[in-house]
Amino acid sequence: MTKLAPAPDPVRSPRPGGVGPARRRRGRDSALPYLMIAPAAIVLLVILGYPIVRLAVLSFQKYDSRSLFTGESPFVFLDNYVEVLGDPEFWMVLWRTFAVTLLCVSLLMVIGFLLAQLLLRVSGWARLTLTICLVLVWAMPMVAAALIWQWLFQPQYGVVNWMLTQVGVFGDLRAHDWFSDPVQALALITLLIVWKGLPFVVLTMYAALGQIPSSMYEAAGLDGANAVDTVRHITIPMMRPVLAILIVLEVIWSVNSFTPFWVLTQGGPSGQTTTLAVYSYTTAFSANDYGGGAAISMITVGLLAAFAVFYVRRQVKQVDVR
């Protein structure tokens, strides 16, 4: 007796020339994440995209004080970039920015890691007190923090000068001007940037450390690993994605720091505390060379974007290899 073949499932069998319900469902599921982030992406594109495009266009124009009255800003293409890159002062400012950024990020990562470890080991009330202090520092506007810093190190009435004079180790510092020396001024500005950026680094690292299973440390202890070994082979590898994000963000924020430099020294003395952010501002608004200032800003954006892409790809490759 011949058996009849089972009838095709009308629900699952695709129609001739069409797409089955399962494939359509998969298509909707794959598009759902993009639809959910689309509103935020559009807002960011409008808010951030337009200024960057306008800045890029301005960097190819000759826009100076004359253009403000005549409205004429002819395109000079790469002339602004050639002039900026051919200026020896730009390269001095670039190396100074690199040195300050390297010092700031290094101090932030080391001190932030130590404070995050401290948060894990102190009692509950001490952890709460330290967290509140960090949040208050984070919430303080940078302008207010820079003005307080300026008052603390003021030559005649500064609290720091008075305290150091009372100690007597460094002699009479009641009339010492910290900001007249470029090395001392850069050191104080670096400390201000680190102090202001520590809360974000500490709280982020503390959250990351709390996600590492304690069983891994227990197993390492049974194998005879010491504190340095556990940090090197467990803590740092487990925190690698968070550390990568923190380093990229802190590099961007340190390079773009403008307020502490401008409030405390305005790039002085004799331009020896000028960084890329201050250099771009003074070129545009002090020298009235808006095209040149835009070119400096675009070079800064390009350098930061190249660093971010290179560093993130390098970290991803290291994770894939391991």
- Residue-level pLDDT at 1: 46
| Angle CA 124–128–129, to nearest 5 | 120
- Which has the minimum average pLDDT: 191-200, 223-232, 249-258? 223-232
CA distance 193 to 186: 10
High-pLDDT (> 90) share of the chain, %:
52
- Which has the minimum average pLDDT: 11-15, 69-73, 257-261? 11-15
Q: What is the CA radius of gyration of the chain?
A: 28
SS (H, E, C) 202-239: HHHHHHHHCCCCHHHHHHHHHCCCCHHHHHHHHHHHHH
CA distance 29 to 23: 10
DSSP string of 74-119? -B-TTHHHHHHHT-HHHHHHHHHHHHHHHHHHHHHHHHHHHHHHHH
Q: Which residue has the tokens 């253009």?
A: 67
Q: What is the mean pLDDT of residues 244-265?
A: 94
| Angle CA 279–52–278, to nearest 5 | 10
Q: What's the chain's average pLDDT?
A: 87
pLDDT digits (tens, 9 = 90+) for 101-127: 999 999 999 999 999 999 998 888 999
Domain boundaries, the chain: 58-321
DSSP code of 178?
Answer: G
- Residue-level pLDDT at 34: 86
pTM for the whole structure: 0.84
- Residue-level pLDDT at 5: 52
Which carries the bigger pLDDT value, residue 18 or residue 247?
A: 247
CATH level 3 topology of 58-321: MetI-like fold (1.10.3720)
